[in-house]
Amino acid sequence: MIALIDYNMGNLLSVNKALESIGGDIRIVDKASELEKFDSVILPGVGHFGDGMEHLRSRGFEPAVIKAAQSGKPLLGICLGMHMMLESSEEAPGVSGLGIFKGKVLKFPECNEKVPHMGWNSLSLKQNSKFFDGVQDNSYFYFVHSYYVAPENSDCIIGSCNYIKDFAAVIGKGNICATQFHPEKSQKNGLQILKNFIATTA
């Protein structure tokens, strides 16, 4: 079974619906103590980094998510969920993230382009990943964000995107994958990633 974490900041309904449409055995979980019962974990998210971390901590999810990451269980972070996997963010100075990946979250530099980066954009795959089996290089995904992750170690970058600048759109290591885009809103390509995630749980 897949645990979809409810910490009052996530795009739960759309992620849940997408997973159910492809046969995922998923449960929405709002108690950190329940995570150990599940085979894999999804940390979704929409909103502010500081608020997200506050909600995670107030519900006791911080140590539970870190433990899941270290356990070898498949773990998927989506959008804000991806950001919180890093150590810090310019969106909330002084607020520490989960630190699953070393690095920080930066705001797009000011320029003539609109921020947030919103809409469809292509993904350049940098390395093979089981989570992207069946997804072609330069496939399109749906983005909505004003900040981007800057991991300390580029070896974890699975795919990049260009908007204003090149940025890491997918990071991962072993059992962990995190996407800046929303797979649940990215039609066929996004559903393929979710199918791959389900397959790692089977």
Catalytic residue (one of 145, 156, 161, 184): 184
Instruction: Give catalytic status of residue 79 as yes or no.
Output: yes
In this structure, the number of other CB atoms found within 10 A of the CB of residue 62 comes to 19
* pLDDT recorded at residue 38: 96
Model confidence at 88, pLDDT cuts 50, 70, 90, reads very high
Instruction: Give catalytic status of residue 184 as yes or no.
Output: yes
Assess whether pLDDT exceeds 70 at residue 31. Answer: yes
Q: Which residues of 122-149 are buried (b: 16+ CB within 10 A; e: fewer)?
A: ebebbeebebbeebeeebbbbbebebbb
> What pTM does this model have?
0.96
Instruction: Give catalytic status of residue 177 as yes or no.
Output: no
Catalytic residue (one of 62, 79, 161, 177): 79
Assess whether pLDDT exceeds 70 at residue 202. Answer: no
Assess whether pLDDT exceeds 90 at residue 10. Answer: no
Average pLDDT, the chain: 96
CA-angle at 162, arms to 102 and 53, nearest 5°: 35
- What number is the average pLDDT over the span 39-68? 96
- Give whole-number Cα distances, 85 to 65, 66, 76, 112, 125, in Å: 9, 9, 10, 30, 20
Catalytic residue (one of 83, 117, 145, 182): 182
Higher pLDDT, 162 or 9: 162
Beta bridge partners of 177: 76, 172
- What number is the average pLDDT over the span 115-140? 97
Instruction: Kindly list the domain boundaries of the chain, sorted by start residue.
Output: 2-201
- Assign a CATH topology to domain 2-201: Rossmann fold (3.40.50)
